[in-house]
Amino acid sequence: MFKFLGNILWIIFGGLCVAVEYATGAIAACMTIVGIPFGMQLFKLAVLALWPFGNEVAVMSGKHGCLHTIFNIIWLFTGGLCIALTHLAFGLLLCITIVGIPFGKQHFKLMKLAFTPFGRAF
């Protein structure tokens, strides 16, 4: 019950806007052939930003090779660091109050995925 209520409150107080922004960026990135892998990661962020309560970000098991590492480095320098720092700032801001702590934790979860999205799942 708490997860459902938390997700509804999250959507009302900004989660929908964040998810739409990620989805818009994903569509723009997918318009280029080079940007398709990055657009897919933005879609992953959009889904998690829409319904974060009850989902956990985990490292995918299996062999990834060096491609995930290279893409994560490119991601970091082309906006991933800014996205992660934005979620960090919002998470810290929300954790100032007791009521905002659950929502701040969701921003920290999004920050983890935004920092290195390749090779992670939820």
pLDDT digits (tens, 9 = 90+) for 57-73: 888 877 677 888 899 99
Phi–psi pair at 11, nearest 5 degrees? -65, -45
Q: Which residues of the chain have pLDDT under 50?
A: none
CA 82: distance to chain centroid?
A: 12
CB distance 50 to 22 below 8 Å: no
Query: What integer pLDDT is reported at residue 119 of this predicted model?
Result: 87
Q: Is the dihedral of CA 19, 22, 28, 34 positive or negative?
A: negative
Query: What integer pLDDT is reported at residue 65 of this predicted model?
Result: 76
What is the spatial distance between Cα 93 and Cα 97, in angstroms, rounded to a whole number? 8
Which tokens belong to 4?
Answer: 């459902």
The parent domain of residue 109 ranges over 2-121
Which tokens belong to 85?
Answer: 């720092």
Q: Alpha helices of the chain — where are they, by DSSP H?
A: 2-10, 16-30, 36-50, 67-75, 81-94, 101-115
